[in-house]
Amino acid sequence: MSWQSVSLSHVFQGGYFLELIEKLLMKVVWRTPAFLLHYDRFFILSYEFDTPAACARRLKNILTRVAGSADIPALKQFLDKGERYNNRFRKGDLAIVAELDDKIVGMEWIEVSKEHYEEEDEYRFPLPDGSAWTYDGYVSPAHQVKGVWASITDEVVRHQKQCSFHAVYCLVQGLNRHAINSHMRYGYRARRQVVFVRFLFLRIHLEKNLDQTVKNNAWQATFAFRNLRWYKGSLNT
């Protein structure tokens, strides 16, 4: 029986080393208060509107529309974020919802700005001109894997096209393989991988460009020392 040899360069380039470190870290992080130690790995994905949607599965009789403040009680049944929904509507964010039998079964939010700030990971992503950011996508468990999310994304693209946008970006957690696969099947492309570690005053961001059109695809490290803050366990947006 012969064993396949793996060089040190393949260990780093293929992500084996990162996966091993991540598994070890998570065993510690899950037992440590978040304000002392926080670890996260995520991907930045984008969908260009001129890319055909490859995911053809849709749920029949689904209705998608732009939500309003009157829909907040229904949205809270998915993710109860209290007053933050009102704050989102006030600052101009949009919510696209999917309805089945007059009941909301899924949602996704759209943010239009020059830069998206992910508070939990203290990460800033500058949005290219003509692009929007989508977040808080959610489908009720009873309607998952039935094409509801694809129908919502269709409406997101249609609405943003009418507003002269040409792309949407989003963040997907590295451990959420189902969400990553759903996005990739629809036609999204992975643009960037980010690892974030917060330990007391030290913040570390490790970034790697995944876009094949970008020449520099090596890991880039950013270190910062900031004041210790008590972690509240929820975002403000």
Alpha carbons 41 and 203: distance in angstroms, whole number: 14
Does the residue 179 lie in any domain?
A: yes
SS3 label, residue 150 = helix
Distance CA 202, CA 158 (A): 42
Q: What is the CATH number of the domain that holds 69?
A: 3.40.630.30
Q: How would residue 233 be classed by pLDDT, with cut points 50, 70 and 90?
A: very low
What value does the mean pLDDT take over residues 20-37?
68
Greatest Cα pair distance in the chain: 66
Report which of residues 183 and 28 the model is more confident about.
Answer: 183
State the residue range of the domain holding 181. Answer: 44-191
- Assess if residue 69 is contained within a domain: yes
Q: Taking residues 157-180, what's their average pLDDT?
A: 93
Residue 23 lies inside a defined structural domain of this protein: no
Q: Judging by beta carbons within 10 Å of its beta carbon (0-12, 13-18, 19+), is residue 49 exposed, middle or buried?
A: middle
pTM: 0.81
Length of the chain: 237
| 131-144 pLDDT per residue, tens | 999 999 999 998 88
- Does a structural domain hold residue 206? no
**What's the number of domains the chain is made of?**
1
Helices 177-186 and 148-162, axial angle in degrees (round to 10): 50
Tell me the mean pLDDT in the region 116-132. Answer: 93
Q: Is 216 a member of any domain? A: no
Res. 9 pLDDT band, cuts 50 70 90: very low
Q: Using CA atoms, how far apart are residues 46 and 132, in angstroms rounded to an integer?
A: 10
